[in-house]
Amino acid sequence: MSTALITGASGGIGKAFAVYMAARGMNLVLVARSEAKLNQLATDLQSKHNIQVDVLIKDLTEPGATNAVFDYTQKQGITIDFLINNAGFGDYGDFAQSDENRQTQIVQLNILALVNLTHKYLPLMQQNRSGNIINIASIAAFQPIPYISVYAASKAFVLSFSQALWAENRNYGVRILCSCPGPTETNFFTEAKFPEAIAAKNAQMSTPETVVQDAFRALEKGDSVVVSGGFANNAIANLSRIVPRQTLVSFLEKQFKA
């Protein structure tokens, strides 16, 4: 039986991954900070699908958190077949006036925790010549975005890092996928304190379930990247290939200004 480790599994896209994978008989290791939500999800999925679900309450921005996750799975003798690096958040606003601690935490969670967990589990997957890593970036990865500058840059990192690893690992039987969702119905916009007017421009939102289905379809095909959310999001992701970067970022500054 396969086991999936999912970060940020207490809600949104991470929870949708947990539900999807549990329904396919996979055991789960769920990581996030919200103890009650994770325990409830674990109880529901265990009773419905007769699987093993381990819950790890961790703030992945804290030093040592990824070591603790890895040590736990090693001590329990759990082989991770799917690593879903999903936990992440953004912070809307003018960078100069933003909370430095929050910006640092975006880097710690969206980049460092993802790199550290990948670095721990990938060698084991290579040894087994089998394994899957899905890193959740965003369509924000394809261009700089004013007023969510650190967030968009963090996702550009995830996209670049993931595609490099996809190429490195093709001959090891380890599949690496970068999932790039467009606007999706989760707690993301509230958590990032997006102004209503800006969030409302994303009227056409995907569901977390669509993001998960798109990811597994792309993983099966052996793709390195998938943009979720249909034609419009694919067009946005490709704009930076056609429009000069400075023109594009000037346009986005107007779109994202409150």
DSSP 155: H
188 binds ligand NAP (CB under 6 A): yes
Q: Of residues 3, 4, 5, 10, which one binds ligand NAP by CB under 6 A? A: 10
Q: Of residues 3, 4, 5, 8, which one binds ligand NAP by CB under 6 A? A: 8
Q: Which two tokens stand for residue 200?
A: 């409302």
183 binds ligand NAP (CB under 6 A): yes
Using CA atoms, how far apart are residues 159 and 85, in angstroms rounded to an integer?
Answer: 12
C-beta of 108: minimal distance to ligand NAP in Å? 8
Q: Of residues 73, 138, 149, 210, which one binds ligand NAP by CB under 6 A? A: 138
Task: Look up 151 and say whether it is catalytic.
Answer: yes
Pairing of strands 82-85, 174-181: unpaired
Kind and range of the H or E element at 180? strand 174-181
Upper half-sphere CA count for residue 114 (Cβ side, 13 Å): 30
- Residues between 25 and 54 with contacts to ligand NAP, criterion CB under 6 A: 32-34
- Which is the catalytic residue, given 15, 58, 120, 155? 155
Task: Look up 155 and say whether it is catalytic.
Answer: yes
Contact 172, 189 (CB under 8 A): no
Q: Of residues 3, 4, 5, 13, which one binds ligand NAP by CB under 6 A? A: 13
Using CA atoms, how far apart are residues 6 and 13, in angstroms rounded to an integer?
Answer: 10
Contact residues for ligand NAP, defined by CB under 6 A: 7-14, 32-34, 58-61, 86-89, 109, 136, 138, 181, 183-184, 186-188, 191
